[in-house]
Amino acid sequence: MKIAVLLSGGVDSSCALLSVKERYPDAQITAYYLKIWLEDELASLGQCPWEEDLSYARGVCDVAKVPLKVVSLQREYWDKVVSYTVSELKAGRTPSPDIFCNRRIKFGAFLDRVGESFDKVASGHYGMIEEGQDGLYRLRRSPDPVKDQTYFLSHLTQEQAALALFPIGGMMKEEVRELARRWDLPTQDRKDSQGICFLGKIKYSDFVRHYMGEQEGPILEAGTNQELGRHKGTWFYTIGQRSGLGLSGGPWYVVGRDRERNAVIVAGTPAAIASAKKDFVVVNPNWIAEKPEPGSVVIKLRHGPKLIPASIAPLEEGENGEERWSVSMEESDRGLAPGQFSVFYHDEICLGGAMISEEGLSLSGV
């Protein structure tokens, strides 16, 4: 049995490696560090701790007595993830690059580049893959609701789900830390990484400024069109945002972005609550195992423990032949933004996810 283990230099993937070694003592195991830091593109913005990450990965492989290979996927990452992020920003949408990192890079470009046939590709994700009696592979939520990463895994294909192995996916974070201490891993006390995977320590706003520049425009109050302040680019803001507006007399919340007028639309608390929506449309869903029947589900609108009961139903195809579904939630949300992803669950099973469309989300009365 040949198993590839994706090693990031963090405690989760480190414990995944040791768990694989324990569970499959006769397997041929190779660890891989994927280098995705865009040195030529982003070096002027700050540092990425990839060399530090790699040193931790080497230390873990020394403990596990497993060979480590470094695979550079910088160009593939630009083509498949970063360029998507930039194009979504230019289109006025809110991108979710970490969703595509798993499908297009870790379980996509990596295998294309390495060119080897593996029985499994293991990683330190929190989630579980189960094979049903029907031969289909399904993604189950982690029992740790805070660490659960099925939101980011929702675009795996059936072929990728069949290959994926998540050794720590059924554990709580505290259990993983305990394992790392038991194995005396060099990563046992290392802090979890935060933010978007390819940015390292670079601020997301600096990344956006690097590719989008600045374009000053008005910050307008919803309903009155009164100018309350100025902004340096609509792409620096997302729906529901409160911090970073620099306005007095608040709190103020972003409730819309008007690309034609280059305006950011804000509202006070009562108007922002009134602008929240229960219903929206998603397009081009990825169903991991099979297309669900119309009916009741629970959804995640962003990574985190919160689940919202909802009902879904298919709609007619869009003008470009895109698959469309309606979503009706039991509670409203102030942060719905085109380009974000809604991820769907039935009980503990992640069915898949789809991008939120602009359809029905435009702000009226502005």
| pLDDT digits 0-9 by tens, 336-351 | 999 999 999 999 999 9
Of 358, 363, 361, 360, whose CA–CA distance to 88 is shortest? 358
At 80-129, the pLDDT tens digits run: 988 999 999 988 899 988 898 899 999 999 999 987 789 999 999 999 99
Of 356, 298, 355, whose CA–CA distance to 331 is shortest? 298
Q: Does residue 162 come out as left (phi exceeding 0), alpha (psi in the -120 to 50 range) or beta? A: alpha
Residue 67, preceding bond cis, omega within 30 degrees?
Answer: no
Query: pLDDT band at 38, cuts 50/70/90?
Result: low
Is residue 355 within 8 Å of 282, Cβ to Cβ? Answer: yes
Residue ranges, CATH 2.30.30.280, the chain? 214-273
| Residue labelled with tokens 């994926």 | 164
- Written as six digits, the tokens of 291 are 């297309």
Is residue 45 within 8 Å of 71, Cβ to Cβ? Answer: no
Percent of the chain's residues with pLDDT above 90: 72
CATH of span 214-273: 2.30.30.280
- Written as six digits, the tokens of 60 are 């873990």
DSSP bridge pairs for 277: 333
Q: Parallel, antiparallel, or unpaired: how do β-strands 164-165 and 252-258 relate?
A: unpaired
In this structure, of 7-11, 191-195, 295-299, the range with the lowest mean pLDDT score is 191-195
- Fold held by 2-124+167-182: Rossmann fold (3.40.50)
Q: Give catalytic residues, as residue numbers.
A: 101, 197
Of 41, 12, 83, 76, whose CA–CA distance to 200 is shortest? 41
CA torsion, ordered 25, 141, 199, 32, to nearest 10 deg: 10
Q: Specify the pLDDT at position 43.
A: 55
DSSP assignment of 122-134: E---S-EEEE-TT
Q: Specify the pLDDT at position 208.
A: 87
What's the whole-model pTM score?
0.91
What is the arrangement of strands in the sheet containing 2-6, beginning at the earlier edge strand? 68-72, 28-35, 2-6, 120-122, 164-165
Of 114, 105, 125, whose CA–CA distance to 165 is shortest? 125
| CA dihedral sign, ordered 290, 292, 297, 298 | positive
Residue ranges, CATH 3.40.50.620, the chain? 2-124+167-182
Burial-class residue 112 by CB neighbours within 10 Å (0-12, 13-18, 19+): exposed
At 173-192, the pLDDT tens digits run: 999 999 999 999 999 998 88
pLDDT at 46 over 90: no
Q: Specify the pLDDT at position 366.
A: 46
